[in-house]
Amino acid sequence: MKALVFSEPGKLQWRDLLPPQLQEPFGALLSPVALSPCTSDVHTVFGGSVPKQENHILGHECIARVVKVASQVVDFKPGDLVAVPAITPNWRAVAIQEGNDRHADDHFSGHRLGRTWPGTFAEYFAIPDADTTLVHVPASLTLEQALMCVDVMTTGFTGAEYAEIKTGDSVCVIGIGAIGLMAIAGASCLGAGRIIAVGTRPCCCELARHYGANDIISYKNGDIAEQVLSRTHGIGVDSVIIAGGNDGVFAQAVDMVRYGIGTISNVNYYGGNGMLAFPKFSSGRGMAGKTIHMELAKGGRARIERMMRMVEYGRVDPQPLVTHRFQGLNEIRTALEMMREKADNFIKSMVLVENV
Ligand code: NAP
Ligand code: ZN
């Protein structure tokens, strides 16, 4: 089969590889119908990471066609149109019984597709546990909507959920790419009163307002913590969701969140090694009463079914996030390059592999 391989830092190559084996007794073999590159793929290829294994195939945002299922699979059959969650916890791990789903076997064990398993940028890919992982795509959802549920929407909502938002809370969402936009939608659904968003791309600012942001501030106009504090009478916001930005945003989040009851929920990725600065003063020298969460997106079948229910019943529509469309597996590389460049009118792309 044809596969796009992450061969060395900064490089992707097309290779002819053997298709993956169907894993007995619960697995499924799948072929992509629609794909989207993720900012995480960009970080992996261009951020100095080295391939985790030989013929490392990236890709974890995918709607797929079931090709084959193993003998004990109950809910899926060849030909089914399915969504594949980006995060695929091992639901048989004992740590799941303690509520530790995304890091159950090891740190980041929930993020396997395109990381420790061959990913979706290929003609075929396999998953080991179909019934706990795959999701039937409801007929009422468009491909774009379904595709945006598997990573972007669940990540944004994870950010909002860990922000512990109560009715009427003030929330700052740092970063309004696809993830931050869905964090705004999540914060709105959870009852945020005022939402301040941080970003500059015009299409993102417009959508941020559409999903519920009241104020938009630019990190290019000075310290965002100062801008948030000056808009909130020096008190700061109840919650901060970090969904974009460089290493400096973490300290800014600590600066701008309220003393005593403030919560920071980070879903942003900080590349490289070293330290994130932690401000001593605004953390009350360790006693400020500010809570910090750092989260990988929630995944698995039930989670994505929940996201799809939000779309199906009209609470959130992630369709406008898809600003660019491509046709054919060959276009993944171009789509990934666009994801890297992030033009003013770009948010997410969809590569259509099979016409549905
Ligand atoms: P994106 O499209 O690149 O959006 C990043 C946002 O951050 C943009 O709005 C950008 O503003 C803003 N930004 C850039 N520099 C900033 C700064 N110095 N201060 C404040 N804001 C700044 O990225 P995305 O696709 O939405 O992804 C967001 C992050 O989530 C990435 O780090 C990605 O790796 C991560 N992620 C995490 C998970 C998870 O499981 N936790 C899952 C998926 C993705 P402008 O573009 O307007 O300049
Ligand atoms: Zn992703």
DSSP string covering 198-210, please? Answer: E---HHHHHHHHH
Q: What is the pLDDT of residue 344?
A: 92
| Per-residue pLDDT at 339 exceeds 90 | yes
Q: Are 173 and 213 in contact (CB under 8 A)?
A: yes
How far does residue 156's CA lie from ligand 1's centre (Å)?
Answer: 11
**Tens digit of each residue's pLDDT (9 = 90 or more) over 60-89:** 999 999 999 999 999 999 999 999 999 999
Probe target for ligand 1 pocket from 266, 269, 339, 346, with the most ligand atoms within 8 Å of CB: 269
How far does residue 129's CA lie from ligand 1's centre (Å)?
Answer: 31
* Residue 220 banded pLDDT, cuts 50, 70, 90: very high
Q: What is the pLDDT of residue 355?
A: 81
- In whole angstroms, give the CA distance from residue 78 to residue 84: 15
- In whole angstroms, give the CA distance from residue 120 to residue 88: 13
Q: Are 244 and 225 in contact (CB under 8 A)?
A: no
Establish whether residue 243 lines the binding site of ligand 1, counting it when its CB lies within 6 angstroms of any ligand atom. Answer: yes
Ligand at minimal distance from the CA of 244 is: 1
Q: Whose CA is nearest to atom 2 of ligand 1?
A: 177
Indicate left, alpha or beta for 33 from its phi (over 0: left) and psi (-120 to 50: alpha): alpha
- In whole angstroms, give the CA distance from residue 173 to residue 310: 20
How far does residue 175's CA lie from ligand 1's centre (Å)?
Answer: 5
What average pLDDT does the segment 187-193 reach? 98
Q: What is the pLDDT of residue 48?
A: 85
What average pLDDT does the segment 197-212 reach? 97
| Per-residue pLDDT at 272 exceeds 90 | no
Q: pTM of this prediction?
A: 0.98
How far does residue 99's CA lie from ligand 2's centre (Å)?
Answer: 22
| Per-residue pLDDT at 356 exceeds 90 | no
Establish whether residue 245 lines the binding site of ligand 1, counting it when its CB lies within 6 angstroms of any ligand atom. Answer: yes
Output the six-digit token pair for 231. 């808009």
Share of the chain above pLDDT 70, in %: 100
Q: Which residue has tokens 């401000």?
A: 279
Cβ atoms within 10 A of the Cβ of 36, count?
A: 30
Establish whether residue 342 lines the binding site of ligand 1, counting it when its CB lies within 6 angstroms of any ligand atom. Answer: yes
